[in-house]
Chain A
Amino acid sequence: MTLTRLERPEIRRTSLLTQSLAITRRNLIHIKRMPEMLMDVTIQPVMFVLLFAFVFGGSIQVPGVEGGYNEWLMAGIMGQTIAFASFVVAIGLTADIDKGIVDRMRSLPIHTSSVLVGRSVSSIMHSSIGIFVMSLTGLVIGWRIRGSFAEAVLAYFLLLLWGFAMIWVGILVGSSLRSVEAVQGVMFTVIFPLTFLANTFAPTENMPTVLRTIAEWNPISALVQAVRVLWHNGPPAPSDAAWPLQNPVLATLIWTVLITAVMAPLSLRAFKRRTDV
Protein backbone atom coordinates (compact mmCIF):
# COMPACT_ATOMS: atom_id res chain seq x y z
CA MET A 1 0.00 0.00 0.00
CA THR A 2 1.32 3.38 -0.91
CA LEU A 3 2.02 5.96 1.70
CA THR A 4 0.82 9.02 -0.14
CA ARG A 5 -1.14 11.43 1.93
CA LEU A 6 -4.73 11.66 0.82
CA GLU A 7 -5.95 14.96 -0.47
CA ARG A 8 -8.85 16.54 1.35
CA PRO A 9 -11.28 17.55 -1.39
CA GLU A 10 -13.73 20.32 -0.77
CA ILE A 11 -17.22 19.11 0.06
CA ARG A 12 -19.86 21.14 -1.70
CA ARG A 13 -23.47 21.31 -0.72
CA THR A 14 -25.53 19.58 -3.37
CA SER A 15 -29.22 19.91 -4.05
CA LEU A 16 -31.84 17.27 -3.43
CA LEU A 17 -32.16 17.00 -7.21
CA THR A 18 -28.44 16.32 -7.77
CA GLN A 19 -28.41 13.74 -5.00
CA SER A 20 -31.58 12.04 -6.20
CA LEU A 21 -30.20 11.87 -9.74
CA ALA A 22 -26.94 10.33 -8.51
CA ILE A 23 -28.91 7.66 -6.68
CA THR A 24 -31.26 7.15 -9.63
CA ARG A 25 -28.23 6.61 -11.86
CA ARG A 26 -26.92 4.01 -9.46
CA ASN A 27 -30.26 2.19 -9.52
CA LEU A 28 -30.28 2.26 -13.31
CA ILE A 29 -26.76 0.78 -13.39
CA HIS A 30 -28.27 -2.08 -11.39
CA ILE A 31 -30.77 -2.72 -14.15
CA LYS A 32 -28.00 -2.58 -16.72
CA ARG A 33 -25.95 -5.13 -14.76
CA MET A 34 -28.89 -7.36 -13.99
CA PRO A 35 -31.28 -7.09 -16.93
CA GLU A 36 -33.27 -9.98 -15.45
CA MET A 37 -34.54 -7.40 -12.95
CA LEU A 38 -36.67 -6.19 -15.84
CA MET A 39 -38.41 -9.54 -16.31
CA ASP A 40 -41.36 -8.34 -14.27
CA VAL A 41 -41.97 -5.54 -16.75
CA THR A 42 -40.97 -7.29 -19.97
CA ILE A 43 -41.40 -11.03 -20.30
CA GLN A 44 -44.07 -11.28 -17.61
CA PRO A 45 -46.53 -8.72 -19.03
CA VAL A 46 -45.95 -9.93 -22.56
CA MET A 47 -46.71 -13.43 -21.37
CA PHE A 48 -49.83 -12.16 -19.65
CA VAL A 49 -51.02 -10.32 -22.73
CA LEU A 50 -50.53 -13.42 -24.85
CA LEU A 51 -52.00 -15.83 -22.28
CA PHE A 52 -55.09 -13.78 -21.64
CA ALA A 53 -55.59 -12.85 -25.25
CA PHE A 54 -55.35 -16.38 -26.57
CA VAL A 55 -56.49 -18.52 -23.64
CA PHE A 56 -59.43 -16.43 -22.44
CA GLY A 57 -59.88 -14.23 -25.46
CA GLY A 58 -62.05 -16.79 -27.24
CA SER A 59 -64.43 -17.27 -24.33
CA ILE A 60 -64.90 -13.76 -23.00
CA GLN A 61 -67.18 -11.63 -25.08
CA VAL A 62 -66.99 -7.88 -24.75
CA PRO A 63 -69.76 -6.40 -26.81
CA GLY A 64 -69.28 -3.12 -28.58
CA VAL A 65 -65.50 -3.20 -28.85
CA GLU A 66 -64.02 -3.05 -32.30
CA GLY A 67 -60.86 -4.98 -31.45
CA GLY A 68 -62.64 -7.48 -29.21
CA TYR A 69 -61.30 -8.87 -25.95
CA ASN A 70 -57.66 -8.44 -26.91
CA GLU A 71 -58.13 -4.73 -27.19
CA TRP A 72 -60.31 -4.49 -24.11
CA LEU A 73 -57.69 -6.44 -22.12
CA MET A 74 -54.80 -4.04 -22.69
CA ALA A 75 -55.89 -1.34 -20.23
CA GLY A 76 -56.32 -4.02 -17.58
CA ILE A 77 -52.87 -5.47 -18.01
CA MET A 78 -51.30 -2.02 -18.01
CA GLY A 79 -53.18 -1.14 -14.83
CA GLN A 80 -51.90 -4.31 -13.21
CA THR A 81 -48.32 -3.64 -14.26
CA ILE A 82 -48.32 -0.09 -12.94
CA ALA A 83 -49.84 -1.30 -9.65
CA PHE A 84 -46.75 -3.44 -9.38
CA ALA A 85 -44.62 -0.29 -9.33
CA SER A 86 -45.15 -0.55 -5.57
CA PHE A 87 -43.54 -3.98 -5.68
CA VAL A 88 -40.51 -2.66 -7.54
CA VAL A 89 -40.04 0.14 -4.99
CA ALA A 90 -40.52 -2.16 -2.01
CA ILE A 91 -38.05 -4.79 -3.21
CA GLY A 92 -35.37 -2.20 -4.00
CA LEU A 93 -35.83 -0.32 -0.74
CA THR A 94 -35.80 -3.42 1.46
CA ALA A 95 -32.65 -4.65 -0.22
CA ASP A 96 -30.96 -1.27 0.30
CA ILE A 97 -31.95 -1.09 3.96
CA ASP A 98 -30.96 -4.70 4.50
CA LYS A 99 -27.53 -4.28 2.98
CA GLY A 100 -26.77 -1.09 4.89
CA ILE A 101 -26.78 1.08 1.77
CA VAL A 102 -29.42 3.34 3.30
CA ASP A 103 -27.32 3.74 6.45
CA ARG A 104 -24.31 4.59 4.32
CA MET A 105 -26.36 7.32 2.58
CA ARG A 106 -27.71 8.60 5.88
CA SER A 107 -24.18 9.01 7.21
CA LEU A 108 -23.40 11.42 4.35
CA PRO A 109 -24.20 15.14 4.38
CA ILE A 110 -27.16 14.71 2.03
CA HIS A 111 -30.95 14.83 2.24
CA THR A 112 -32.11 11.42 3.43
CA SER A 113 -35.15 11.80 1.22
CA SER A 114 -32.90 11.61 -1.85
CA VAL A 115 -32.69 7.85 -1.20
CA LEU A 116 -36.46 7.63 -1.51
CA VAL A 117 -36.72 10.04 -4.43
CA GLY A 118 -33.97 8.24 -6.33
CA ARG A 119 -35.62 4.90 -5.66
CA SER A 120 -39.00 6.25 -6.77
CA VAL A 121 -37.74 7.80 -9.97
CA SER A 122 -35.88 4.68 -11.05
CA SER A 123 -38.88 2.52 -10.18
CA ILE A 124 -41.19 4.69 -12.27
CA MET A 125 -38.73 4.39 -15.16
CA HIS A 126 -38.66 0.66 -14.57
CA SER A 127 -42.45 0.41 -14.70
CA SER A 128 -42.63 2.73 -17.70
CA ILE A 129 -40.49 0.26 -19.62
CA GLY A 130 -43.22 -2.27 -18.88
CA ILE A 131 -45.93 0.01 -20.22
CA PHE A 132 -43.88 0.63 -23.34
CA VAL A 133 -43.18 -3.06 -23.94
CA MET A 134 -46.84 -3.89 -23.47
CA SER A 135 -47.94 -1.20 -25.84
CA LEU A 136 -45.73 -2.77 -28.50
CA THR A 137 -47.02 -6.26 -27.74
CA GLY A 138 -50.57 -4.92 -27.87
CA LEU A 139 -49.98 -3.41 -31.28
CA VAL A 140 -48.80 -6.79 -32.51
CA ILE A 141 -51.95 -8.60 -31.36
CA GLY A 142 -54.26 -5.99 -32.84
CA TRP A 143 -54.69 -3.43 -30.07
CA ARG A 144 -55.20 0.13 -31.32
CA ILE A 145 -55.76 3.45 -29.61
CA ARG A 146 -58.99 4.63 -31.17
CA GLY A 147 -59.47 7.90 -29.33
CA SER A 148 -57.85 11.29 -29.89
CA PHE A 149 -54.16 11.99 -29.31
CA ALA A 150 -54.95 14.10 -26.24
CA GLU A 151 -57.05 11.31 -24.75
CA ALA A 152 -54.29 8.80 -25.42
CA VAL A 153 -51.75 11.00 -23.65
CA LEU A 154 -54.10 11.57 -20.73
CA ALA A 155 -54.47 7.79 -20.34
CA TYR A 156 -50.70 7.30 -20.20
CA PHE A 157 -50.48 10.21 -17.78
CA LEU A 158 -53.03 8.59 -15.48
CA LEU A 159 -51.03 5.36 -15.53
CA LEU A 160 -47.90 7.28 -14.56
CA LEU A 161 -49.74 9.17 -11.84
CA TRP A 162 -50.96 5.87 -10.50
CA GLY A 163 -47.37 4.68 -10.45
CA PHE A 164 -46.40 7.64 -8.26
CA ALA A 165 -49.20 6.86 -5.80
CA MET A 166 -48.05 3.25 -5.70
CA ILE A 167 -44.56 4.38 -4.69
CA TRP A 168 -45.84 5.29 -1.25
CA VAL A 169 -47.35 1.85 -0.84
CA GLY A 170 -43.98 0.46 -1.86
CA ILE A 171 -42.09 2.58 0.67
CA LEU A 172 -44.51 1.50 3.39
CA VAL A 173 -44.18 -2.19 2.55
CA GLY A 174 -40.43 -1.95 1.96
CA SER A 175 -39.87 -0.20 5.30
CA SER A 176 -42.18 -2.44 7.29
CA LEU A 177 -40.94 -5.83 6.19
CA ARG A 178 -37.57 -7.26 7.08
CA SER A 179 -36.55 -9.09 3.95
CA VAL A 180 -36.92 -9.19 0.20
CA GLU A 181 -38.59 -12.60 0.56
CA ALA A 182 -41.19 -11.18 2.94
CA VAL A 183 -41.91 -8.36 0.49
CA GLN A 184 -42.38 -10.86 -2.30
CA GLY A 185 -44.70 -12.91 -0.13
CA VAL A 186 -46.89 -9.98 0.86
CA MET A 187 -47.02 -8.57 -2.62
CA PHE A 188 -48.06 -11.85 -4.18
CA THR A 189 -50.68 -12.62 -1.58
CA VAL A 190 -52.12 -9.09 -1.34
CA ILE A 191 -51.44 -6.94 -4.39
CA PHE A 192 -51.66 -9.72 -6.94
CA PRO A 193 -55.21 -10.86 -6.08
CA LEU A 194 -56.26 -7.21 -5.71
CA THR A 195 -55.33 -6.60 -9.31
CA PHE A 196 -57.59 -9.49 -10.35
CA LEU A 197 -60.52 -8.52 -8.17
CA ALA A 198 -61.34 -5.72 -10.56
CA ASN A 199 -62.33 -5.04 -14.13
CA THR A 200 -58.80 -5.78 -15.29
CA PHE A 201 -59.40 -9.10 -17.05
CA ALA A 202 -63.14 -9.60 -17.03
CA PRO A 203 -66.09 -7.22 -17.03
CA THR A 204 -67.58 -6.69 -13.57
CA GLU A 205 -71.18 -6.96 -14.79
CA ASN A 206 -71.15 -10.75 -14.71
CA MET A 207 -69.69 -11.04 -11.20
CA PRO A 208 -71.83 -11.99 -8.16
CA THR A 209 -73.21 -8.88 -6.47
CA VAL A 210 -70.85 -8.69 -3.51
CA LEU A 211 -67.80 -9.36 -5.62
CA ARG A 212 -69.00 -6.87 -8.19
CA THR A 213 -69.32 -4.12 -5.59
CA ILE A 214 -65.85 -4.80 -4.27
CA ALA A 215 -64.40 -4.94 -7.77
CA GLU A 216 -66.02 -1.71 -8.85
CA TRP A 217 -64.82 0.14 -5.76
CA ASN A 218 -61.36 -1.33 -6.14
CA PRO A 219 -59.27 1.77 -6.94
CA ILE A 220 -57.55 -0.02 -9.77
CA SER A 221 -60.88 -0.49 -11.59
CA ALA A 222 -61.31 3.26 -11.91
CA LEU A 223 -57.85 3.53 -13.45
CA VAL A 224 -58.44 0.67 -15.86
CA GLN A 225 -61.86 1.99 -16.85
CA ALA A 226 -60.42 5.49 -17.38
CA VAL A 227 -57.65 4.22 -19.63
CA ARG A 228 -60.07 1.96 -21.50
CA VAL A 229 -62.53 4.74 -22.15
CA LEU A 230 -59.84 7.25 -23.12
CA TRP A 231 -58.40 4.83 -25.66
CA HIS A 232 -61.92 3.92 -26.83
CA ASN A 233 -61.09 0.30 -26.10
CA GLY A 234 -64.27 -0.42 -24.24
CA PRO A 235 -67.84 0.71 -23.79
CA PRO A 236 -68.78 3.16 -21.04
CA ALA A 237 -69.76 1.49 -17.76
CA PRO A 238 -73.39 0.31 -17.58
CA SER A 239 -75.74 2.61 -15.73
CA ASP A 240 -75.95 0.30 -12.72
CA ALA A 241 -72.15 0.32 -12.20
CA ALA A 242 -70.63 2.03 -9.16
CA TRP A 243 -69.82 5.75 -9.21
CA PRO A 244 -66.06 5.38 -9.85
CA LEU A 245 -66.73 3.50 -13.07
CA GLN A 246 -69.25 6.10 -14.21
CA ASN A 247 -66.67 8.87 -13.68
CA PRO A 248 -63.42 6.98 -14.13
CA VAL A 249 -61.01 9.86 -14.86
CA LEU A 250 -62.16 11.94 -11.91
CA ALA A 251 -62.30 8.85 -9.72
CA THR A 252 -58.72 7.94 -10.66
CA LEU A 253 -57.52 11.42 -9.75
CA ILE A 254 -59.36 11.25 -6.42
CA TRP A 255 -57.99 7.78 -5.67
CA THR A 256 -54.40 8.81 -6.35
CA VAL A 257 -54.72 11.88 -4.14
CA LEU A 258 -56.36 9.81 -1.43
CA ILE A 259 -53.82 6.99 -1.57
CA THR A 260 -50.97 9.50 -1.48
CA ALA A 261 -52.49 11.47 1.39
CA VAL A 262 -52.92 8.34 3.51
CA MET A 263 -49.84 6.42 2.49
CA ALA A 264 -47.21 9.18 2.34
CA PRO A 265 -47.20 10.02 6.07
CA LEU A 266 -47.54 6.35 7.03
CA SER A 267 -44.70 5.28 4.78
CA LEU A 268 -42.38 8.10 5.86
CA ARG A 269 -43.04 7.18 9.47
CA ALA A 270 -42.33 3.53 8.75
CA PHE A 271 -39.10 4.45 6.96
CA LYS A 272 -37.97 6.59 9.87
CA ARG A 273 -38.84 3.91 12.39
CA ARG A 274 -37.04 1.30 10.39
CA THR A 275 -33.85 3.28 9.92
CA ASP A 276 -33.56 5.20 13.20
CA VAL A 277 -32.47 2.26 15.30
Chain B
Amino acid sequence: MNSAPAVEAINLVKHFDDTVAVDDVSFEVPQGTVLGLLGPNGAGKTTTVRMMTTLSRPTSGTARVAGHDVVTEPDAVRRSMGLTGQTATVDELLTGRENLALISALYGLDAATARRVGGDLLDRFSLSDAGDRVVKTYSGGMRRRLDLAVSLVATPPVLFLDEPTTGLDPRSRVELWEVLRELVRDGTTLVLTTQYLEEADHLADRIVVIDRGHIIAEGTPLQLKDQSGAAAVVVTVSHADDLPRAEELMRSVTSDFHVDKGARQLSAPAAGLGEMTRIAAVFDGSGIDLDDLGLKRPSLDDVFLRLTGHRAEESAELEGEEALR
Protein backbone atom coordinates (compact mmCIF):
# COMPACT_ATOMS: atom_id res chain seq x y z
CA MET B 1 0.00 0.00 0.00
CA ASN B 2 1.38 3.36 -0.79
CA SER B 3 0.79 6.13 1.68
CA ALA B 4 -0.54 8.83 -0.61
CA PRO B 5 -4.07 9.80 0.37
CA ALA B 6 -6.80 8.08 -1.65
CA VAL B 7 -8.80 11.28 -1.83
CA GLU B 8 -7.72 14.87 -1.41
CA ALA B 9 -9.91 17.93 -1.59
CA ILE B 10 -7.78 20.98 -2.26
CA ASN B 11 -9.43 24.35 -1.60
CA LEU B 12 -12.65 23.35 -3.34
CA VAL B 13 -14.96 26.24 -4.10
CA LYS B 14 -18.26 26.19 -5.95
CA HIS B 15 -20.43 29.19 -6.74
CA PHE B 16 -23.92 28.99 -8.18
CA ASP B 17 -24.81 32.38 -9.63
CA ASP B 18 -24.46 34.56 -6.51
CA THR B 19 -24.56 31.86 -3.85
CA VAL B 20 -21.46 30.17 -2.52
CA ALA B 21 -22.31 26.50 -2.10
CA VAL B 22 -18.86 25.30 -1.10
CA ASP B 23 -16.21 27.63 0.24
CA ASP B 24 -12.59 26.54 0.44
CA VAL B 25 -13.02 22.94 1.52
CA SER B 26 -9.83 20.90 1.97
CA PHE B 27 -9.29 17.49 3.50
CA GLU B 28 -7.44 14.23 2.97
CA VAL B 29 -8.66 10.67 3.18
CA PRO B 30 -5.98 8.03 3.76
CA GLN B 31 -6.34 4.77 1.85
CA GLY B 32 -8.63 2.18 3.33
CA THR B 33 -10.32 4.59 5.71
CA VAL B 34 -13.76 6.14 5.93
CA LEU B 35 -14.36 9.85 5.89
CA GLY B 36 -17.76 11.13 6.96
CA LEU B 37 -18.89 14.46 5.55
CA LEU B 38 -21.37 15.56 8.12
CA GLY B 39 -23.73 18.46 7.84
CA PRO B 40 -27.34 19.51 7.53
CA ASN B 41 -29.22 19.64 4.25
CA GLY B 42 -27.87 22.34 1.99
CA ALA B 43 -24.54 22.51 3.82
CA GLY B 44 -22.63 21.76 0.62
CA LYS B 45 -21.95 18.05 1.14
CA THR B 46 -23.51 16.90 -2.10
CA THR B 47 -21.86 19.65 -4.11
CA THR B 48 -18.50 18.68 -2.61
CA VAL B 49 -19.04 15.06 -3.60
CA ARG B 50 -20.19 16.08 -7.07
CA MET B 51 -16.98 18.03 -7.56
CA MET B 52 -14.86 15.14 -6.32
CA THR B 53 -16.62 12.74 -8.70
CA THR B 54 -16.24 14.97 -11.80
CA LEU B 55 -19.98 15.66 -12.05
CA SER B 56 -19.58 19.31 -11.21
CA ARG B 57 -16.69 21.52 -12.18
CA PRO B 58 -15.16 23.40 -9.23
CA THR B 59 -15.29 27.19 -9.51
CA SER B 60 -11.77 27.04 -8.09
CA GLY B 61 -9.59 24.53 -6.32
CA THR B 62 -9.52 20.87 -7.23
CA ALA B 63 -9.56 17.38 -5.83
CA ARG B 64 -7.49 14.28 -6.40
CA VAL B 65 -8.94 10.80 -6.41
CA ALA B 66 -6.49 7.88 -6.39
CA GLY B 67 -3.85 10.41 -7.41
CA HIS B 68 -5.80 11.79 -10.37
CA ASP B 69 -6.92 15.37 -10.67
CA VAL B 70 -10.69 15.77 -11.13
CA VAL B 71 -10.31 18.84 -13.30
CA THR B 72 -7.49 17.78 -15.60
CA GLU B 73 -7.89 13.97 -15.61
CA PRO B 74 -11.62 13.35 -15.20
CA ASP B 75 -11.52 10.11 -17.14
CA ALA B 76 -8.81 8.62 -14.91
CA VAL B 77 -10.82 9.68 -11.85
CA ARG B 78 -13.94 7.97 -13.23
CA ARG B 79 -11.92 4.80 -13.66
CA SER B 80 -10.86 4.84 -10.03
CA MET B 81 -14.08 5.55 -8.22
CA GLY B 82 -17.66 4.50 -7.83
CA LEU B 83 -20.51 6.79 -6.89
CA THR B 84 -23.79 6.04 -5.22
CA GLY B 85 -25.96 9.10 -5.40
CA GLN B 86 -28.55 10.49 -3.06
CA THR B 87 -31.43 8.72 -4.74
CA ALA B 88 -30.93 5.16 -5.86
CA THR B 89 -29.96 5.70 -9.48
CA VAL B 90 -30.82 2.28 -10.75
CA ASP B 91 -33.08 1.74 -13.71
CA GLU B 92 -36.54 0.82 -12.51
CA LEU B 93 -37.64 -0.91 -15.66
CA LEU B 94 -34.57 -3.13 -15.87
CA THR B 95 -33.99 -6.19 -13.74
CA GLY B 96 -31.20 -6.13 -11.18
CA ARG B 97 -29.09 -8.27 -13.47
CA GLU B 98 -29.76 -6.04 -16.48
CA ASN B 99 -28.75 -2.98 -14.49
CA LEU B 100 -25.43 -4.61 -13.67
CA ALA B 101 -25.00 -5.80 -17.26
CA LEU B 102 -25.57 -2.30 -18.61
CA ILE B 103 -22.90 -0.79 -16.40
CA SER B 104 -20.54 -3.70 -17.15
CA ALA B 105 -20.99 -3.11 -20.86
CA LEU B 106 -20.21 0.57 -20.41
CA TYR B 107 -17.04 -0.37 -18.52
CA GLY B 108 -16.11 -2.56 -21.47
CA LEU B 109 -16.21 -5.90 -19.66
CA ASP B 110 -16.70 -8.85 -21.96
CA ALA B 111 -19.98 -10.73 -21.67
CA ALA B 112 -18.59 -13.67 -19.66
CA THR B 113 -16.79 -11.46 -17.14
CA ALA B 114 -19.83 -9.23 -16.89
CA ARG B 115 -22.06 -12.20 -16.09
CA ARG B 116 -19.64 -13.48 -13.47
CA VAL B 117 -19.14 -10.07 -11.83
CA GLY B 118 -22.88 -9.40 -11.90
CA GLY B 119 -23.66 -12.77 -10.33
CA ASP B 120 -21.04 -12.27 -7.60
CA LEU B 121 -22.38 -8.84 -6.75
CA LEU B 122 -25.97 -10.05 -6.58
CA ASP B 123 -24.80 -12.81 -4.22
CA ARG B 124 -22.84 -10.48 -2.08
CA PHE B 125 -25.74 -8.11 -1.65
CA SER B 126 -28.29 -10.88 -1.08
CA LEU B 127 -30.11 -10.05 -4.28
CA SER B 128 -29.62 -13.31 -6.16
CA ASP B 129 -33.26 -14.31 -5.84
CA ALA B 130 -34.44 -10.91 -7.00
CA GLY B 131 -31.82 -10.60 -9.74
CA ASP B 132 -34.23 -11.33 -12.57
CA ARG B 133 -37.02 -9.21 -11.24
CA VAL B 134 -37.69 -5.68 -12.47
CA VAL B 135 -36.27 -3.14 -10.01
CA LYS B 136 -39.67 -1.45 -9.72
CA THR B 137 -40.68 -4.36 -7.49
CA TYR B 138 -37.72 -3.90 -5.11
CA SER B 139 -37.96 -2.46 -1.62
CA GLY B 140 -36.05 0.71 -0.74
CA GLY B 141 -33.32 -1.30 0.96
CA MET B 142 -32.93 -3.62 -2.04
CA ARG B 143 -32.65 -0.66 -4.40
CA ARG B 144 -29.91 0.86 -2.29
CA ARG B 145 -28.04 -2.42 -2.22
CA LEU B 146 -28.37 -2.78 -5.98
CA ASP B 147 -27.27 0.83 -6.40
CA LEU B 148 -24.20 0.04 -4.35
CA ALA B 149 -23.60 -3.17 -6.30
CA VAL B 150 -23.75 -1.20 -9.55
CA SER B 151 -21.14 1.22 -8.19
CA LEU B 152 -18.89 -1.74 -7.46
CA VAL B 153 -18.92 -3.37 -10.89
CA ALA B 154 -15.35 -2.30 -11.56
CA THR B 155 -14.40 -2.75 -7.88
CA PRO B 156 -13.14 0.81 -7.63
CA PRO B 157 -10.56 1.57 -4.92
CA VAL B 158 -12.52 4.67 -3.88
CA LEU B 159 -16.23 4.81 -3.27
CA PHE B 160 -18.33 7.95 -2.78
CA LEU B 161 -21.67 7.56 -1.10
CA ASP B 162 -24.05 10.48 -0.92
CA GLU B 163 -26.43 9.91 1.98
CA PRO B 164 -26.45 6.17 1.42
CA THR B 165 -29.11 5.38 4.00
CA THR B 166 -31.51 8.30 3.67
CA GLY B 167 -35.03 6.97 3.58
CA LEU B 168 -34.11 3.47 4.73
CA ASP B 169 -35.75 1.77 7.67
CA PRO B 170 -33.44 1.11 10.64
CA ARG B 171 -32.90 -2.53 9.81
CA SER B 172 -31.91 -1.88 6.20
CA ARG B 173 -29.66 0.88 7.43
CA VAL B 174 -27.78 -1.41 9.78
CA GLU B 175 -27.49 -4.01 7.01
CA LEU B 176 -26.03 -1.47 4.65
CA TRP B 177 -23.55 -0.34 7.29
CA GLU B 178 -22.39 -3.93 7.59
CA VAL B 179 -21.83 -4.14 3.83
CA LEU B 180 -19.87 -0.90 3.88
CA ARG B 181 -17.66 -2.08 6.74
CA GLU B 182 -16.92 -5.20 4.74
CA LEU B 183 -15.82 -3.13 1.77
CA VAL B 184 -13.50 -1.13 3.96
CA ARG B 185 -12.02 -4.36 5.35
CA ASP B 186 -11.26 -5.27 1.74
CA GLY B 187 -9.28 -2.05 1.38
CA THR B 188 -11.83 0.28 -0.22
CA THR B 189 -11.64 3.93 0.75
CA LEU B 190 -15.03 5.45 1.52
CA VAL B 191 -16.20 9.03 1.47
CA LEU B 192 -19.75 9.29 2.69
CA THR B 193 -22.03 12.19 3.35
CA THR B 194 -24.69 11.97 5.96
CA GLN B 195 -26.95 14.08 8.08
CA TYR B 196 -27.23 11.27 10.58
CA LEU B 197 -24.76 11.81 13.36
CA GLU B 198 -25.21 8.24 14.40
CA GLU B 199 -24.16 7.04 10.97
CA ALA B 200 -21.00 9.10 10.97
CA ASP B 201 -20.27 7.85 14.48
CA HIS B 202 -20.70 4.23 13.42
CA LEU B 203 -18.81 4.23 10.17
CA ALA B 204 -16.34 7.05 9.90
CA ASP B 205 -12.71 7.03 10.98
CA ARG B 206 -12.64 10.74 10.54
CA ILE B 207 -15.41 13.27 10.31
CA VAL B 208 -15.46 16.60 8.53
CA VAL B 209 -18.33 18.79 9.67
CA ILE B 210 -19.63 21.17 7.01
CA ASP B 211 -22.09 23.96 7.55
CA ARG B 212 -23.04 26.60 4.98
CA GLY B 213 -20.21 25.53 2.68
CA HIS B 214 -17.48 25.79 5.31
CA ILE B 215 -15.61 23.16 7.24
CA ILE B 216 -16.36 23.99 10.85
CA ALA B 217 -14.66 21.04 12.53
CA GLU B 218 -12.83 17.84 11.78
CA GLY B 219 -11.36 14.93 13.62
CA THR B 220 -12.18 11.43 14.79
CA PRO B 221 -15.64 10.98 16.28
CA LEU B 222 -13.99 10.78 19.71
CA GLN B 223 -11.96 13.95 19.23
CA LEU B 224 -15.04 15.82 18.14
CA LYS B 225 -16.93 14.67 21.18
CA ASP B 226 -14.06 15.64 23.46
CA GLN B 227 -13.92 19.07 21.86
CA SER B 228 -17.49 19.52 22.88
CA GLY B 229 -16.61 19.48 26.55
CA ALA B 230 -15.96 16.93 29.23
CA ALA B 231 -18.01 13.88 29.99
CA ALA B 232 -20.50 13.90 32.83
CA VAL B 233 -21.61 11.47 35.49
CA VAL B 234 -25.36 11.17 35.19
CA VAL B 235 -27.48 9.68 37.98
CA THR B 236 -31.11 8.89 37.24
CA VAL B 237 -33.27 8.19 40.30
CA SER B 238 -36.28 5.94 40.01
CA HIS B 239 -38.67 8.10 42.07
CA ALA B 240 -38.92 11.87 41.89
CA ASP B 241 -39.47 11.94 45.67
CA ASP B 242 -35.89 10.81 46.18
CA LEU B 243 -34.45 13.79 44.33
CA PRO B 244 -33.84 16.03 47.41
CA ARG B 245 -32.01 13.21 49.20
CA ALA B 246 -30.02 12.45 46.07
CA GLU B 247 -29.01 16.10 45.83
CA GLU B 248 -27.72 15.98 49.40
CA LEU B 249 -25.67 12.88 48.69
CA MET B 250 -24.30 14.46 45.53
CA ARG B 251 -23.32 17.62 47.44
CA SER B 252 -21.16 15.48 49.72
CA VAL B 253 -18.98 14.63 46.71
CA THR B 254 -19.11 17.77 44.59
CA SER B 255 -20.76 21.14 44.64
CA ASP B 256 -20.71 21.44 40.86
CA PHE B 257 -23.73 19.58 39.57
CA HIS B 258 -26.96 20.17 37.79
CA VAL B 259 -30.45 18.79 38.46
CA ASP B 260 -32.99 18.05 35.80
CA LYS B 261 -36.21 17.43 37.72
CA GLY B 262 -38.26 16.34 34.73
CA ALA B 263 -35.78 13.66 33.77
CA ARG B 264 -35.10 12.83 37.47
CA GLN B 265 -31.42 13.30 36.65
CA LEU B 266 -28.43 14.79 38.40
CA SER B 267 -25.35 15.36 36.33
CA ALA B 268 -21.89 16.41 37.40
CA PRO B 269 -18.97 17.11 35.09
CA ALA B 270 -16.46 14.31 35.44
CA ALA B 271 -12.79 14.44 34.70
CA GLY B 272 -12.59 10.68 34.69
CA LEU B 273 -13.75 7.43 36.17
CA GLY B 274 -12.61 8.45 39.70
CA GLU B 275 -15.46 10.94 39.91
CA MET B 276 -17.90 8.26 38.94
CA THR B 277 -16.72 5.68 41.49
CA ARG B 278 -16.92 8.25 44.28
CA ILE B 279 -20.47 9.17 43.31
CA ALA B 280 -21.41 5.53 42.94
CA ALA B 281 -20.01 4.85 46.41
CA VAL B 282 -22.25 7.43 48.15
CA PHE B 283 -25.37 6.15 46.40
CA ASP B 284 -24.47 2.56 47.17
CA GLY B 285 -26.38 1.54 50.30
CA SER B 286 -28.26 4.84 50.46
CA GLY B 287 -31.54 3.07 49.85
CA ILE B 288 -32.37 5.28 46.86
CA ASP B 289 -33.54 3.31 43.83
CA LEU B 290 -31.61 4.25 40.73
CA ASP B 291 -32.60 3.71 37.13
CA ASP B 292 -29.14 4.43 35.88
CA LEU B 293 -25.75 5.70 36.88
CA GLY B 294 -23.10 6.22 34.30
CA LEU B 295 -20.52 8.28 32.51
CA LYS B 296 -21.99 10.07 29.51
CA ARG B 297 -19.91 11.42 26.72
CA PRO B 298 -21.49 14.16 24.65
CA SER B 299 -23.12 12.76 21.52
CA LEU B 300 -22.22 14.03 18.08
CA ASP B 301 -25.57 15.73 18.28
CA ASP B 302 -24.23 17.84 21.14
CA VAL B 303 -21.11 18.50 19.10
CA PHE B 304 -23.16 19.65 16.20
CA LEU B 305 -25.29 21.86 18.36
CA ARG B 306 -22.25 23.49 19.90
CA LEU B 307 -20.51 24.01 16.57
CA THR B 308 -23.38 25.37 14.54
CA GLY B 309 -25.76 26.70 17.15
CA HIS B 310 -28.51 24.47 15.79
CA ARG B 311 -29.31 20.79 15.70
CA ALA B 312 -28.73 18.94 12.44
CA GLU B 313 -32.40 17.98 12.06
CA GLU B 314 -33.70 21.46 12.84
CA SER B 315 -31.58 22.94 10.15
CA ALA B 316 -32.67 20.27 7.70
CA GLU B 317 -36.29 21.18 8.41
CA LEU B 318 -35.54 24.83 7.88
CA GLU B 319 -34.01 24.10 4.50
CA GLY B 320 -37.03 22.07 3.58
CA GLU B 321 -39.34 24.92 4.46
CA GLU B 322 -37.24 27.32 2.44
CA ALA B 323 -37.39 25.00 -0.52
CA LEU B 324 -41.17 24.94 -0.29
CA ARG B 325 -41.31 28.70 -0.41
Contacts and interface: CB of A to CB of B under 8 A. Distances in A.
Most buried by A among B16, B55, B123: B55
A2 B128 CA distance: 12
A202 B134 CA distance: 46
B87 A8 contact: no
A21 to B, nearest CB: 9
A99 B87 contact: yes
Contacts of A103: 55, 83, 85, 89
Interface in B251-289: none
A22 B105 contact: yes
B57 A276 contact: yes
B102 A109 contact: no
Contact of B124 (A1, A13, A277): A1
B10 interface: no
Interface string B116-142: 110011011110000000100000000
Interface in B42-71: 50, 53-57
Contacts of B93: 29-30, 33-34
A147 interface: no
Contact of B50 (A3, A10, A277): A277
A7 B117 contact: yes
A113 interface: no
A44 interface: no
A276 B56 contact: yes
- Interface residues of chain A: helix, strand, loop or mixed (majority): loop
B78 to A, nearest CB: 4
Contact of B56 (A2, A3, A12, A277): A277
B106 A110 contact: yes
A14 interface: yes
Interface stretch (B107-115, B234-242, B310-318): B107-115
B91 interface: yes
Given A3-B182, A107-B82, 20 more contacts: A4-B124, A6-B120, A6-B121, A7-B116, A9-B154, A12-B107, A22-B102, A26-B91, A29-B94, A30-B94, A33-B93, A33-B134, A99-B87, A101-B91, A104-B83, A105-B106, A106-B54, A107-B54, A107-B78, A108-B107
Interface of A: 1-14, 18-19, 22-23, 25-26, 29-30, 33-34, 99-101, 103-110, 275-277
7 contacts: A7-B117, A11-B107, A22-B102, A103-B89, A106-B54, A108-B107, A109-B78
